[in-house]
Structure 1
Amino acid sequence: MDQMTKVLTDEVKEDKKITELLVKNGLVFTGDGFQEMTIRIVDDKIADLVEGEAGPILETKENMIDASGCLVVPGFIDAHVHFNDPGRTEWEGIETGSRAAAMGGTTTIFDMPLNCSPSTINLENLLNKKEYLTSLSHIDYALWGGMTATNLHNRQELAQMSEGVIAWKSFMSESGIDDFQHLSPQDLKKAMQAAKEHEKILALHAEWEQDIVKLTAINKQHPWRNERIAYLASRPILAEERAVSYALELAAKYGTALHFVHISSPKVIGLIEEAKKSGVNVTVETCPHYLVFDEEDFLREGAILKCAPPLRPRKEVEGLWECMASGMIDTIGSDHSPCLYSMKETNSIWDAWGGIQGVQFTWLPMLDEALKRKIPLKQILPLGTSNVADRFRIAGRKGRISPGLDADLVFISLDETTIASKESFGFRNVYSPYEGRVFSTRVKKTMLRGKVIYDDQNGVTNEKMGVCL
């Protein structure tokens, strides 16, 4: 190599600033289990997984991260959050929401199309939201599009939106947001057809609206009745069952890819499992709060645990874990739905905002419960990693520790505890039903695309390097 070529080559290397990093001494999740391996990261991608020594690069303090004593797992993907940006940032915002997520080991979120204001139900709102969120997030993100009773007629605009959203979201019951209208049974047929045309998943909040309206009216008639019991009675499992059954019939008819969010009952999951076996393209999510809390917790704690569908009896919680152990649940999503605390402190449970702040505490209770119930972690971890990536077509970037994918990693200690105290919360509004809980696991570090964005000693970095997928 002549001197000029060497100078030019060195300039190119300097300009690109190629970085190499080793993650050593951890037990790395391979999909089939855990293995002691070295992960070699080049720039923001996983380059190699090596048993033993990592190869030719010189190990220094600057380019080696010691994962001793930790499980090293893929960064978690939470396909169900409401970060409320833009328009209701005082409820959360992507800056604080992504901070809390990173603290819990989540490196990618899918932000729902409602609770921001305006809702993401047309192309202008979608483009404005994308622009607004730029450079605000600590972690990577994708955006849901909303398919509602008011935008179904505009098929051309929906087709344009489909290019920029991860999937579609619709409600079969009132959403609680004025500009996000639920779908009637007839509307749902059109939504199924549109989603099929776009080759996008249609996710459904599945509760039968007519049942809820009727039962709510009945249960509000007696003001002396315990309001919390009345709220539970207004949204029974039967309303979920009826909505899911109807949607499954339509999905089978139209060939739509369907995803049910926050299913709360093993009976309903059984219906979905039967549909899968018959060839329906369907997946199901449940949430940590349906696996940790029950209706007795709601009756005792009140609005801080109000959600829809509501928490269920303990036998339903145990049934969900049986479904989990049997492989019938596909994904776990936090359904992080924050608000001002004043919106929980209402005189009537009917007026309180329904939603749970939990994105920071999605995986600590999941891992705790799995370990306690002797469910192998290799069975639980894909519900927040590879299963989500596969279903939503981002497996070329996310969801596994594999060469060529983004170096999104979480270091988890099984030998240290985490106390969910107010001082530890990353949320904008400092409250959560998880407050006071002690978890037997701890997130030590979170890495996004090869950079440590959180460690338990220094907190979340100031850099906001999250990008829209």
Structure 2
Amino acid sequence: MKYDLLIKDGKVVFRDEVRNVDIAIKNGKISAIAEKIDDEALNTINAEGQYVMPGMIDTHVHICEPGRTEWEGFVTGTKALAAGGTTSYVDMPLNALPATVDRESLRSKLEAAKGKNYVDFALYGGLVPGNIDNLEELSDEGVVAFKCFMSTCGSDIPDDFTNVDDFTLYAGMKKLAKLGHVLSIHAENAVITDRLAEEAVKQGNLTATDYVASRPVFTEVEAVKRALFLAKETGCKLHFVHISTAEAVDKIIEAQNGGQDVTVESCPHYFTITTAQFEEIGPVAKCSPPLRNEEEQVKLWGKLIEGKIDMLTSDHSPCPPDMKQSDTNNIFEVWGGITGCQNNVDLMFDEAVLKRNVPVTDFVRMIATNPARRFNMPTKGEIAISKDADIILVDASQSYIVKKEDLYYRHKHSPYIGRNINCRVTKTFVRGNLVFDLDHGIVGDPVGELITYNEKVSALV
């Protein structure tokens, strides 16, 4: 057989255009693209009427293994990613225990990941107080980027992740600038948000709206401006995660235009759930930064439509159901994280491409091409000859309602349950391997491989 797989007659989304062509795959790579390919193949897929796109690269995922596998895990988390049209992801240094902040903890995570990933994956290293001297060893071990929190995070549990102080942020940026790495930042002012939360609880203001009010827009904007200033001083490359406000996006774009090496992501929940809807849905929709009011959401949509959002990610941050409950109806007590990676592609394709006429080429840049470029994945992120055959099929003629029983998460809760979505991911291929099929679910054994920044690091896990 000349090819392993042919995908025929689909609407193939390239960098700047959509064309009805055939794609041939051999040894996990895209081998040929033409209007008609009639050579023999082991398998042929008829994609007529469907969009054929590069799989999503979700650069913001919390798998939680090892140490908190009761929250999620590589098997369940990557099944959900595959079913949602994600073909590669980057795992955050939290909420696993130990947090990934040195060589030992990184190797512990890699050992836990062996043979469990249904999609390809890369790892973050963490920047926390006290680990500046560990950043180089993490780089040597192959992490693709580093992550820190400017807002308060962590717990009293040993080896949990903790947020940076300003000096750690500055010193870490200096070190990472020398190493050439991107620092991804959760940007919220810790002092102000913590005190506002304390005051709200003291006054008995415990609702979802009260929680949002404790993390106002300016606390995100201030942290973004502070990080940008320190990055300019140190020459550090930045990536801002899960930005929730248009004003913060504007500050980042100003820095880009001024020559700084900085990018910005946002997440589906900031475009699809408002503060009022958070009140209705309940604690499963709690996250930080918080979900904004309708006016702020409209402004954020404006930035996406203008092309000012570089990437879309899930910030998949799962937890057991009891952590989303409060006996006193105090929203401040419940876990702040959204379980949502299975509905990245379909939800945002519906909302952005179908409902708001965002060009599908722009959509693909946000979910695949830009993440691949930013996080050093040269074989991924677009449909082109010699690239990895990480491909998804999306049927824009199908509608469905998100149901609890269809979710692959360890704990089947999500703010999207009950939501109608006007498209479906029908197939997901990772390097030419079919890992998800709408009619049959997850297919075969885990095929995911490790992606590293350091090519000398072993690639297969």
SS in 2 for 1:63: strand
Counterpart CA distance in 2 for 1:378 and 1:58 is: 30
Deviations 1:432-467 (A, max 9, x none): 110011111011110011111111000001310101
Of 80, 103, 106, the match for 1:126: 106
Report deviation, 1:418.
2.5
| Matching residue of 1:204 | 185
Unaligned runs of 5+ in 1: 1-16
SS in 2 for 1:283: strand
Matched, 1:289 2:247: no
Q: Which amino acid aligns with 1:22?
A: L
Deviations 1:205-260 (A, max 9, x none): 0001111122122212212x343232112111111011000001111111111000
Which portions of structure 1, spanning 4 or more consecutive aligned residues, are displaced by more than 4 angstroms? Answer: none
SS in 1 for 2:175: helix
Of 209, 212, 217, the match for 1:232: 212
SS in 2 for 1:400: coil
Of 376, 384, 388, the match for 1:393: 376
**TM-score, normalised with respect to structure 2:** 0.94
Deviations 1:255-282 (A, max 9, x none): 1110000000001101111111000110
Of 124, 139, 147, the match for 1:162: 139
| Matching residue of 1:321 | 301
Deviations 1:361-394 (A, max 9, x none): 0111111111111221111221110000011111
Contact conserved, 1:121 with 1:146, CA < 8 A, in 2?
yes
SS in 2 for 1:312: coil
SS in 2 for 1:48: strand
Of 348, 351, 359, the match for 1:376: 359
Counterpart CA distance in 2 for 1:453 and 1:68 is: 20
| Matching residue of 1:49 | 33
Deviations 1:337-363 (A, max 9, x none): 000001101122111011000000011
SS in 2 for 1:108: strand
Contact conserved, 2:268 with 2:313, CA < 8 A, in 1?
yes
Q: Which amino acid aligns with 2:374?
A: R
| Matching residue of 2:459 | none
Counterpart CA distance in 1 for 2:188 and 2:43 is: 51
Question: What RMSD in Å do the two structures reach over aligned CA positions?
Answer: 1.3
| Matching residue of 1:264 | 244
Unaligned runs of 5+ in 2: 452-461
Q: Which amino acid aligns with 1:183?
A: V
Report deviation, 1:33.
2.0
Report deviation, 1:19.
5.1
Counterpart CA distance in 2 for 1:49 and 1:462 is: 27
Deviations 1:391-413 (A, max 9, x none): 1111x211001111110100010
Deviations 1:265-305 (A, max 9, x none): 00110111111100011000100000000100112222111
SS in 2 for 1:350: helix
Of 149, 154, 170, the match for 1:176: 154
Matched, 1:86 2:63: no
| Matching residue of 2:403 | 421
Contact conserved, 1:115 with 1:177, CA < 8 A, in 2?
no
| Matching residue of 1:25 | 9
| Matching residue of 1:9 | none
Matched, 1:464 2:446: yes
Contact conserved, 1:283 with 1:330, CA < 8 A, in 2?
yes
Count of aligned pairs between the two proteins: 444
Q: Max radius of gyration: which structure?
A: 1
Of 120, 127, 138, the match for 1:140: 120
SS in 1 for 2:410: coil
Counterpart CA distance in 2 for 1:159 and 1:226 is: 43
| Matching residue of 1:191 | 172
Q: Which amino acid aligns with 2:222?
A: R
SS in 1 for 2:282: helix
Contact conserved, 2:22 with 2:37, CA < 8 A, in 1?
yes
SS in 2 for 1:174: coil
Counterpart CA distance in 2 for 1:241 and 1:74 is: 33
SS in 1 for 2:428: strand
SS in 1 for 2:346: helix
SS in 2 for 1:444: strand
Counterpart CA distance in 2 for 1:121 and 1:18 is: 46
